[in-house]
Amino acid sequence: MFKMIFEDLLNFLFPYQCLRCGKILNKAGYLCDECVDEINFITAPYCHKCGHPLQEENVQDELLCGGCSKKKHSFYRFARSAVVYDNSSKNLILAFKFFDQTENSALLAAMLKIAGKDIFEAGADLLVPVPLHYTRLIKRRYNQSALLVQKLSKMTDIPYDNFSLIRKRRTKPQVEVSGKERATNVKNAFEVKYPQNVKGRRIILVDDIMTTGSTVKESALALKRAGAKSVDILTIARTI
Ligand SMILES: [Zn+2]
Ligand SMILES: [Zn+2]
């Protein structure tokens, strides 16, 4: 009895709110039904390798998209994202990234856990966030991807490492750079400070948004140079 009253009181003081539109929810959760309907979650069928959504209907387990079936080598093992980066998911992610809405990190980490199912099944040893340059970290006070990694680590029991991979030089934010320049903007921008921590490990590289893929590529290559056994890419959203 007392517990129920206590819970009612807590709900009254801290009502559940939809993190996307602010609507008060009548049950525990993070998003209202309307917002869940509007967000474009990436669901099967998708390419087994790069995670790109596919049109095919009768899909076997390991279907590849046209690009991946031609490519022999790639810098990653699997890439997965939870949602399409578009107007329906933008505010949820940008609020988390820039406006201290860190309470939605639990929701976003849960989305990563679902999106990364194939990766977790294949097996992984370490979660690593795409790092910020330290000057930007001071300005923003937290690295959104490092927060995600901490939460995801608790949910999956896979350890995380927020220190070994570093951004060794300042780069312009990718959103301020045109498509073509994005690759050169981040070229060789990353380095592994403690190679012994990643050597021989199967690593899941975590970031919030993937657009051209240049940032995750440079990060993954740095991990590979340091001896990582494999790198998987896991992001909240990607442009399609
Ligand atoms: Zn909502
Ligand atoms: Zn593919």
The answer on pLDDT for 113 being more than 90 is: yes
Instruction: Give the pLDDT of residue 144.
Output: 84
pLDDT score recorded for residue 104: 76
| Cα–Cα dist 85/238, whole Å | 5
- Asked whether residue 204 carries a pLDDT value surpassing 70, the answer given is yes
For the segment 10-32, the average pLDDT, to the nearest whole number, is: 74
CATH class (in words) of the domain with range 76-238: alpha beta
* Among the ranges given (25-29, 96-100, 129-133, 224-228), the one the predictor scored with the smallest mean pLDDT: 96-100
For residue 8, the model assigns a pLDDT of 62
pLDDT tens, position by position, 159-194: 999 999 999 988 888 878 888 888 898 899 999 999
Whose atoms come closest to the Cα of 29: which ligand? 1
Distance 21 CA to ligand 1 centre (A): 4
DSSP class per residue in the chain: -HHHHHHHHHHHHS--B-TTT-PBPSSS-SS-HHHHHHS-B--SSB-TTT--B---SS--TT---HHHHH-S--S-S-EEEEEE-SHHHHHHHHHHHHS--GGGHHHHHHHHHHHTHHHHHH--SEEEEPPPPHHHHHHHSS-HHHHHHHHHHHHH---B-SSSEEE-S----GGGS-TTHHHHHHTT-EEES-GGGTTT-EEEEEEEEESSSHHHHHHHHHHHHTT-SEEEEEEEEE--
Identify the pLDDT of residue 125.
Answer: 98
The per-residue pLDDT for 221 is: 97
Report the pLDDT value the prediction gives residue 15, as an integer from 0 to 100. 66
**Residue 128 dihedral angles phi and psi, to the nearest 5°:** -130, 125
CA distance 240 to 10: 41
The residues placing their C-beta within 5 Å of ligand 2, an ion, are 47, 49-50, 52, 65, 68
| 113 CA to centre of ligand 2 in angstroms | 20
Strand partners, 24: 17
35 alpha carbon, closest ligand:
1
Residue 50 CA to ligand 2 center (angstroms) comes to: 4
Residue 16, pLDDT > 90, answer: no
- Evaluate the omega torsion of the peptide bond into residue 45 and state whether it is cis, within 30 degrees of 0: yes
pLDDT tens for 126-155 read 999 999 888 887 777 778 889 899 999 999
pLDDT tens-digit map of 23-44: 888 766 688 889 989 999 999 8
Domain range list for the chain: 76-238
Q: What is the pLDDT of residue 24?
A: 86
